[in-house]
A and B are shown apart, each in its own frame.
Chain A
Amino acid sequence: MHGYLAGLKLEARLIRAQPDSLIPLVTAPLFTIIFLAIVRESGRYDLQPDALMAPVLIALWWVALQHAGQIITHDRWQALLESIVAAPTSLASLLFGRVTTVMCLGLVSFLEVWAIGAVFFDVSLRFEHPLELVLILVCTAFATAGASLAFAALFVMTRNAYTFTNSAGFPLYLLSGVFVPVAVLPGWIHPVSSAIFMSWSADLLRASVRPAPIDQFWGRLGMVVLLGVISFVIGRFVLIYVLRRMRMTGELATA
């Protein structure tokens, strides 16, 4: 718990001190403008809720890949990792705390997007299923945190994680159906997409801002949580393995 809270607080301070961290809060509105323009120009006002939900999911992916996923790598470059490992607090709980703060940042994009839609485009999101919406957002953030942990552990092992993080965005947006539902994509993509928690979140999120009852809500939410837990477990094991290996090879610090 100590480590979790320490990580939470540290990340909040770092975000305040580092304007770069707030990039998703700038790109989310821009994506909103782009998507809303597309659907409105074509007369598809029924797709406006989708146009609003997509930037939120994109923001979450961004914070997972570019921010949370880089935490351990940055600490290592900054020669902080050794001192952290030598401290009596678990790196995993520290990381989880930091990632939680980052996820909250990602979720702020939801408020932004809602505000922009309402103020500039006169699009009011209908909260037909408010409780479900909150649950979806929380579970999605949780699952994204799990993915971030897995990314963080994996990236510190690979030499060129930078190229991956720069390139992984749009493929992930596509595969997780952040705007266009996975059901519409070619059949061969479906198995891949189903393994990505975000595809379930995207469908649920779109459904939650529409009046119709949400089909199989708990089952689908359960998939988000399950895939999130799996990411956590993978992340945890990879982290343990990576740290042990780095202690063996002396690579906790960069040269």
Chain B
Amino acid sequence: MSAIATTATIMRYAFRAGLADYRSMYTWKSWLAGWFVRVLAQVSFFALIGERISSDERATFYLLVGNALAVAAVTGVFSLNATSSERWAGTLPLLVASPSSPVIVFGSRGSYAALDGTVSAVSALFVAGPLFGMDLPWPRVLLVVPLTALVAYSCYCFGTFLAGVVFRFRNINSFVVLTSYMTIMAVCGVNVPLTYYPEALEWISRFMPLTNGLLAIRGVFEGDAASAILGDAALEAAVAIGWMTAALLSFNQFASRGRRDGSLDYGA
């Protein structure tokens, strides 16, 4: 098989492995009754804050859209658990010893999260939106779907990078998951415009996942020019690539060093 075909095969299997893990946690029913109810509750929670703070419905919609997309951030960051599970499951040395690059597995293990994030966020938007009286301008609103997928993927790339951080330490998964996605919610334009924060912070947030993609999606709802939307989407794509590259480099360095100093072990 050519290198590309091999890589694609590995990615497919890694994706399936992650999906299988996820399926052991959720069935369709429990996904809907458990996870999706939570998603809707989160979006509604903030949308209701919007209704409380202002009679202008734009405040509500601002919070609604932001928090629907924040769901993609939650799933993306949460994927670090799946990605980093190799570390303590004792399979890491086996991966490193295999003929394929462990980096590819590492980069694809949690990729189901991008799919989950897209479905969750889009569903939240299209369910909660009309519930709060939000106008979904057809057919332009369909652009939201690929843009959400981009954001979900970008968040997943960030989650993968975080997995590389978590790899190196014990027992900090929950801490990293919660702090990361709440930081994203705080500074990436989810609840307040970027201009609310000091310029330096705004600049930093542009390098975070979600920020640029969310601007693009807001642009779709506000009828912005296509060039502006595409520009923000391109930035989001660049951010995604950047985080995934950093993740893969970090993991490669970890595996190499592990081979040298014997820190790759079979289990906890």
Are A and B in contact, CB atoms below 8 Å, in the complex?
A: yes
A18 nearest in chain B by CB position: B171
**Majority-rule SS of A interface residues:** helix
Given A34-B185, A44-B53, A167-B38: A174 and B48 interface contact (C-beta under 8 Å): yes
A167 to B183, CA, bound (A): 20
Q: Other CB < 8 Å A-B pairs besides A170-B45, A179-B49, 5 of them?
A: A27-B182, A33-B186, A35-B49, A166-B35, A173-B45
Selecting from A140-148, A156-164, A247-255, the interface stretch reads A156-164
Cβ–Cβ contact B178 & A27, under 8 A: yes
Cβ–Cβ contact A173 & B41, under 8 A: yes
Whether B193 is near chain A, meaning CB under 8 Å from some CB there, is yes
Cβ–Cβ contact A47 & B53, under 8 A: yes
A33 to B34, CA, bound (A): 28
Whether A104 is near chain B, meaning CB under 8 Å from some CB there, is no
Whether B226 is near chain A, meaning CB under 8 Å from some CB there, is no
**Interface size range of chain A in the complex:** 20 to 34
Interface residues of B in 36-95 (CB under 8 A from A): 37-38, 41-42, 44-45, 48-49, 51-54, 59, 63
Given A19-B172, A27-B182, A34-B191: A180 and B38 interface contact (C-beta under 8 Å): no
In-complex Cβ contact of B37 among A19, A38, A171, A185 (8 A): A171
Cβ–Cβ contact B38 & A168, under 8 A: yes
A39 to B192, CA, bound (A): 9
A199 to chain B, nearest CB (A): 14
Cβ–Cβ contact B41 & A23, under 8 A: no
Cβ–Cβ contact B192 & A162, under 8 A: no
A194 to chain B, nearest CB (A): 18
Whether B9 is near chain A, meaning CB under 8 Å from some CB there, is no
Chain B residues with CB under 8 A of A114: none
Given A30-B186, A180-B52: A37 and B196 interface contact (C-beta under 8 Å): yes
Whether A222 is near chain B, meaning CB under 8 Å from some CB there, is no
In-complex Cβ contact of A185 among B48, B53, B193 (8 A): B48
Cβ–Cβ contact A37 & B52, under 8 A: no
**Majority-rule SS of B interface residues:** helix
A174 to B51, CA, bound (A): 14
Cβ–Cβ contact A20 & B171, under 8 A: yes
A63 to B34, CA, bound (A): 19
Chain A residues with CB under 8 A of B179: 26-27, 30
Interface residues of A in 168-188 (CB under 8 A from B): 168-171, 173-174, 179-180, 184-185
A173 to B168, CA, bound (A): 34
A124 to B170, CA, bound (A): 39
Chain B residues with CB under 8 A of A35: 49
Chain A residues with CB under 8 A of B41: 170-171, 173-174
Cβ–Cβ contact B42 & A170, under 8 A: yes
Cβ–Cβ contact B53 & A23, under 8 A: no
Whether A42 is near chain B, meaning CB under 8 Å from some CB there, is yes
B83 to chain A, nearest CB (A): 18
Given A30-B186, A163-B26, A180-B52: A171 and B38 interface contact (C-beta under 8 Å): yes
A27 to B45, CA, bound (A): 17
Given A47-B52, A170-B45: A26 and B175 interface contact (C-beta under 8 Å): yes
Cβ–Cβ contact B186 & A26, under 8 A: no
A170 to B67, CA, bound (A): 12
Chain A residues with CB under 8 A of B174: 20, 23
A158 to chain B, nearest CB (A): 12
